[in-house]
Structure 1
């Protein structure tokens, strides 16, 4: 199995990190479905009540000009990986923010090819080395993600940054992942969409979110009702009373 994607566009890196941040807000563990055309995130929680099922597809050609993906065999030319999405977000966000000057001190478990002030530290999930020198003048030049095998399968995250010496340097992160066997692939394939009779445009998320965040302290579920004359109603069941919010 081989997988590698690379981009040198800071705008694409920021857009990709925004997608990762969105998925990190939905679940802890995410399935990455990798093939020659797409980089997909799949969430499928197995709980009795509630739970989240979501898919997000990212076209390789849009964000990553350089891409390689080879599956187990020509007939199974895909790779399914289970990853803790917060680790991926931390690796991308911490370096992107420090490169933009938001963090004056880089303090995460990673490895750098710069020879300044290296010290080895340990971590349960991300292994490597750390470079703790001021990065306020650095900027992010590129992002590379590839599948490697150390003691366990890992996603190697390489971020290329500028430095005060004028020579670019690479900061590495290694995130352990679990390879999903082919017999379980059907559980994480996006289902086909049914034929819809009605399309509904919801109110802006910025308008809905404050009400939902407040009501989730009192109710576990919300019932959404769309009235024929253009009213969106959210009903929160808080025994012995119900709270209705209309938009």
Structure 2
């Protein structure tokens, strides 16, 4: 089992750093899945138990100048590692002006992702700063626990408003309540609502648009017979929503949300070479 990669391009390094910083805000620990073509950062807290889940997919060719890996076996050319993304984020903070960044899987008392940052120096030789990030290798028998989540059979799918605007609204609302109601319809309308014994506050968004999903078989058929005016809604933990909005550093070109009434809110954020899904379960 081997893995090594190298980043030379500063723009690619900065972009990769922003992605890792975003993931570090969303998950204390997560699974890094490596394949020959892609990297995946996966959080699989059981939604049924009130936990969020996350799936972030990157094409390695858009970030790395060199990328080599050998999985556990020829027929299973993948590697699954458990890590603390904050540790990787800290290591990359030292790489702001780096000439190169190398990442490889090593074994130093325990398995590690070793990040070697080559920094420019006035002397003829470069300075190299090395970070050893402990990881746990996930055995093959557990890989099925980390499959890509399926898009839920939603009641409403809607494009999100500008995330910075949504973030400022949610930050003000979180001082009033621990939960927030997200509701939307097929007319491109979305509301964020706080309702307590003392106060009721609603922010309205209009003309957001609804994504043109192509249904496979019966999937997503629940939207076809729905009255466009009818709102689908879910009450969620406001801190979990704020965490998603506050952590965003990749500036998605497309952001949308699928609502399964009273069950789950599913966010999809797209930015060229980054695909992030985030699931927040509804509160009872």
TM range (shorter): 0.7 to 0.9
SS of residue in 2 equivalent to 1:245: strand
Are positions 1:209 and 2:162 aligned together?
no
| TM-score, scaled to structure 1 | 0.76
Supply the distance in 2 between the matched residues of 1:54 and 1:222 (Cα, whole angstroms): 20
Are positions 1:14 and 2:5 aligned together?
no
2:136 to 178, 185, 195: 178
**1:148 aligned residue:** 106
For each residue in 1:30-74, what CA deviation from the matched residue of structure 2 results, as whole angstroms up to 9, or x when unmatched?
110011111111112247664221111111111112111111111
**2:51 aligned residue:** 51
- Report deviation, 1:27: 1.3
Task: Please say if residues 94 and 117 of structure 2, whose CA atoms lie closer than 8 Å, have aligned partners that are also in contact.
Answer: no
For each residue in 1:109-133, what CA deviation from the matched residue of structure 2 results, as whole angstroms up to 9, or x when unmatched?
xxxxxxxxxxxxxxxxxxxxxxxxx
| TM-score, scaled to structure 2 | 0.67
**1:33 aligned residue:** 33
What is the total number of aligned residue pairs between the two structures? 205
Supply the distance in 2 between the matched residues of 1:52 and 1:195 (Cα, whole angstroms): 18
Supply the distance in 2 between the matched residues of 1:245 and 1:196 (Cα, whole angstroms): 22
SS of residue in 2 equivalent to 1:20: helix
Task: Please say if residues 26 and 52 of structure 1, whose CA atoms lie closer than 8 Å, have aligned partners that are also in contact.
Answer: no
Supply the distance in 1 between the matched residues of 2:175 and 2:47 (Cα, whole angstroms): 20
**1:164 aligned residue:** 122
Task: Please say if residues 158 and 186 of structure 2, whose CA atoms lie closer than 8 Å, have aligned partners that are also in contact.
Answer: no
**1:66 aligned residue:** 66
Task: Please say if residues 155 and 175 of structure 1, whose CA atoms lie closer than 8 Å, have aligned partners that are also in contact.
Answer: yes
Supply the distance in 2 between the matched residues of 1:177 and 1:188 (Cα, whole angstroms): 16
Are positions 1:5 and 2:5 aligned together?
yes
SS of residue in 2 equivalent to 1:25: helix
Please, what is the CA RMSD of the aligned residues?
2.1
Gaps of 5+ in 2: 206-284
Task: Indicate the larger mover: 174-183 or 235-244.
Answer: 235-244
For each residue in 1:2-45, what CA deviation from the matched residue of structure 2 results, as whole angstroms up to 9, or x when unmatched?
01111111111000000001101111101100111111111122
